[in-house]
Amino acid sequence: MSDHLHHSSGRASDETVAAIATPAGVGGIGIVKISGPSAWAIGQRLFQPARVPEKLCSHRLYHGHIVEPETGRPVDEVLTSFMRAPHTYTREDVVEINCHSGMAVLERILELVLRSGARLAEPGEFTRRAFLNGRIDLTQAEAVLDVIHSKTRRSLDLASEHLRGTLHLIITDLRTERLGAQVLGPVTALLARYEDGRILREGLAVIIAGKPNVGKSRLLNTLLRSDRALVTPVPGTTRDVIEEGFNLRGIPIRLMDTAGLRDADTLVEQLGMELTRDRLARADLVLFVLDRSASLTREDIQIHKELGDKPRIILLNKADLDRHPDFAEIVGRFPGETILEISALRGDGIEGLKDAVFQTIRSCRLDTETSVVAPNLRHKICLEGTQGAVIRAIELVESGASAELVAIELQEALRHLGEIIGMTTGEDVLDQIFSQFCIGK
């Protein structure tokens, strides 16, 4: 798909690189990956096949041992694949050594590979080489990272769409169109769905807020089905923000329990209040918890005021206790708002709460069925640049400006679109993108 891309940063290095490509820890299989012009020579130096073939064939899996080349001493029984360029992940010669997992054996094999002429790969260097060698474009390279970090089936589906090149094809089509008003529609549509991509990629930030001792930490534990937060009858136990993730019908949720908002008596409490208010300002949704068994207080009213127009669900907790006589007044204080009764202790009303959260997500314009979005901030900025340049070009045409001025704006639009797929992307941007990858990918 990306065979004809001409990247601004040239081709990958002629050096041969290697890294452990599997996570640290004990498991059945660990992989050491080698890529570059010396990959086959290094593999043949270290690999001793159980049955010597007439010749090594590309894309075959061979059984044997990795041995110390100086002594012939076996290090581990392995399955090794030798793969010739260009039909590899990096479009370079690649060798993958599948050994037993465990850091001692993996590090020993990697040490032998490095001593044989390879250098340790940098974070994301294998994927960067795949991009620089034209196998994938930059949106697909970023999608590799999104697949690895996908939190739900929905976010995985979206990342897989981009990995298959769907966004690449859209941007390429826009670049080959006669740039003008007809381009504004698709670009504006992608920008409108940026928030969908952000939520599916990063998770919806849901804050549990309220005064101390209304049951915020208990609610967090109940939603997570684990004792993540300390629950005590002592007000103010939570001093920091506790964050955990969970999956709500395909939408990743970043659930945060915050320090109870109140007048701070100490510096530690004051810092906790500041952190809570900072997270509230950046939250996508607030679960505002009130004590159903007690009267409304000045603190409750003040917290509700601080929420402003932030999307929220009001939760009347402690439904396992008797209602306070002023219950009707509590409800009347918040006309038109979503109000639910729950018991975080017993779990009453929790499924209804999940339904309400999901419906609130949908009402916030998140399209859970969309297949193509601008999934990250870099794409959004580039699309906004494209949009602005096209609008300026149209305005110049309508004002009777010269063709040269119009062409300058259209070239600017092309440049921004090229940045998305990596055709006009600088080294600093590439460094920032690939530094997010693990070593070995």
Confidence of residue 2 (pLDDT cuts 50, 70, 90): very low
pLDDT value of position 260: 61
Assign residue 294 the CATH number of its domain. 3.40.50.300
| Encoded tokens for 203 | 């998770």
**Are 162 and 211 contained in the same domain?**
no
Distance CA 304, CA 296 (A): 11
Q: Average pLDDT, whole number, for the chain?
A: 85
Residue 398 has pLDDT above 80, yes or no: yes
pLDDT value of position 296: 87
Is 122 within a domain? yes
Confidence of residue 11 (pLDDT cuts 50, 70, 90): low
Residue 239 has pLDDT above 50, yes or no: no
Residue 372 has pLDDT above 50, yes or no: yes
Give me the helices (H) in 92-231, please.
Answer: 103-115, 125-132, 138-149, 153-163, 166-176, 181-192, 194-202, 216-224
**Are 117 and 149 contained in the same domain?**
no
Rounded (10°) CA dihedral 338, 344, 346, 352: 30
| Encoded tokens for 39 | 């990959």
Which residue type occupies 88? T
Confidence of residue 262 (pLDDT cuts 50, 70, 90): low
Give the 3-state secondary structure of residue 316: strand
Confidence of residue 202 (pLDDT cuts 50, 70, 90): confident
Assign residue 408 the CATH number of its domain. 1.20.120.430
**214 close to 289: Cβ distance less than 8 angstroms:** yes
**389 close to 416: Cβ distance less than 8 angstroms:** yes
| Selection from 20-24, 282-286, 364-368, 394-398 with the highest mean pLDDT | 394-398
Residue 387 has pLDDT above 50, yes or no: yes
Is 318 within a domain? yes
Distance CA 138, CA 127 (A): 10
Report the pLDDT averaged over residues 158-182: 85
pLDDT value of position 3: 41
Residue 234 has pLDDT above 50, yes or no: no
Give the 3-state secondary structure of residue 242: strand
Report the pLDDT averaged over residues 177-204: 80
Distance CA 389, CA 408 (A): 9
**Are 297 and 242 contained in the same domain?**
yes
Report the pLDDT averaged over residues 140-144: 93
| Residue span of the structural domain in which 27 resides | 17-132
pLDDT value of position 370: 53
| Encoded tokens for 93 | 């010669």
pLDDT value of position 238: 45
Q: Work out how many domains the chain is built from and give that number.
A: 3
- From 105, 132, 159, the end of a domain falls on 132
Confidence of residue 339 (pLDDT cuts 50, 70, 90): very high
| Encoded tokens for 223 | 């939603």
pTM of the model: 0.75
**Are 164 and 293 contained in the same domain?**
no
**Are 210 and 351 contained in the same domain?**
yes
**Are 287 and 255 contained in the same domain?**
yes
Assign residue 124 the CATH number of its domain. 3.30.1360.120
**Are 258 and 387 contained in the same domain?**
no
Give the 3-state secondary structure of residue 327: helix
